[in-house]
Amino acid sequence: MLFQGKDALSRDRKALLAAFQTKAGIRFRSLSLLNLSFTHRSCGNEDPSRSLNNERLEFLGDAVLGLVAASCLYGDLSDRPEGELARVKSYVVSEEVLSEISKSLGIDECLLVGKGEEQSGGRAKKAILADAMEAVIGAYYLDAGFDPCFKFVRRLIEPEIGKVLQNRHHKDYKTTLQEYAQKYLRVYPAYRLVKKSGPDHDRTFWVACDVGGAEYGPASGKNKKEAEQGAARAAYDSILAAGGIEAARMLQVERQ
């Protein structure tokens, strides 16, 4: 399905889009559709004439990405149970991974964002980069069809699947800590916002993690999720360094 966009693209913009396609190894028939996939909603907030943004394409791309990831895992890991497939899939379609893939393709340079978002570092925000990656996938699906899109997405995620299988991936410490604490200590980690610092557009959050009465951290991050991951890692690493399960149990008893 071709997108009939009305925006006239400048020569420089066309050159940038051409460079992206070369780097990504794909080719769009509709440059307007590709351009739309890079258009953040902040553009419309500041310029009403730019009412279209990439959110609908992101919605579509998310579905396509999930289908391709599930299909690849189902076919390639025929000996793995459903739970293991779900764990790997949750990693390869995560914001963390998609934002890194997005940067590797140069999507950060192609983004169209409003002045306010630009000034607040929008091009480097993981959520915006990940959303744009999904929007590109959705746009390519519309432009080229399922088979070329499947091959494109598979090429992007296969290395990430390999990282998980070789245990070289970025770890979700909140999940790891929760599973560890539930299994061995029969408790759930609890997170507490200690403080916030900085202006509204550039906040830093500080979060501490409590495991069985012992508090770890605080760890900092540009959002609560990032800070909680840091606190979970601090807790998990500290528990293991102190002797693991038995040491944590003893500390838990002492706190009661």
**Active-site annotation, residues:** 62, 134
Q: How many CB atoms lie within 10 A of CB 43?
A: 21
Q: How many CB atoms lie within 10 A of CB 12?
A: 8
Tokens 């500290």 identify what position?
238
Q: Which residues pair with 133 in a beta bridge?
A: none
Helix (H, G, I), strand (E, B) or coil at 205: strand
Residue 83 near residue 15 (C-beta atoms within 8 A) = no
What the block records as the tokens of 234 is: 């601090």
Distance of CA 110 to the CA centre of its chain: 18
Helix (H, G, I), strand (E, B) or coil at 211: strand
Q: How many CB atoms lie within 10 A of CB 120?
A: 17
Over its C-alpha atoms, the chain yields an Rg (Å, rounded) of: 22
